[in-house]
Structure 1
């Protein structure tokens, strides 16, 4: 596995876990006074987790 691919998988996995934790614990997040709804974390969890899994699967199948 190439180093950049491994770093990308790790970063996307970390983002996914943090979004899941926010969703489960109900952390409030506001940006410039605007509250970000919890359902946005659900979408971010699915997208970032899906990208991490796709990268991991691609890196496993592309090795000779």
Structure 2
């Protein structure tokens, strides 16, 4: 796995885990007095997790 690919995969995994933490702990998030619903973090978990997994699998297939 190339270093940049590994870094991006890890960053995407961290983003996914932070969104999952928000969902599990039911943390409220607001931006400029607008509350961000929990479903945004559900998508924020799924999308980066799938991308991170895909990067790891793709880099292993090329080896």
Which TM-score tier does this pair reach, normalised by the shorter chain?
A: over 0.9
Tell me, in whole angstroms, the C-alpha distance in 2 between the residues paired with 1:62 and 1:27: 40
Aligned to 1:54: 54
CA deviation string 1:4-58 (max 9, x = no partner): 0000000000000000010010111111111000011001100010000000000
Q: How many residues align?
A: 63
Tell me, in whole angstroms, the C-alpha distance in 2 between the residues paired with 1:43 and 1:32: 21
Unaligned runs of 5+ in 2: none
SS in 2 for 1:28: coil
Query: Where do 4+ consecutive residues of structure 1 move more than 3 Å?
Result: none
Give TM-score scaled by structure 2 length: 0.96
Unaligned runs of 5+ in 1: none
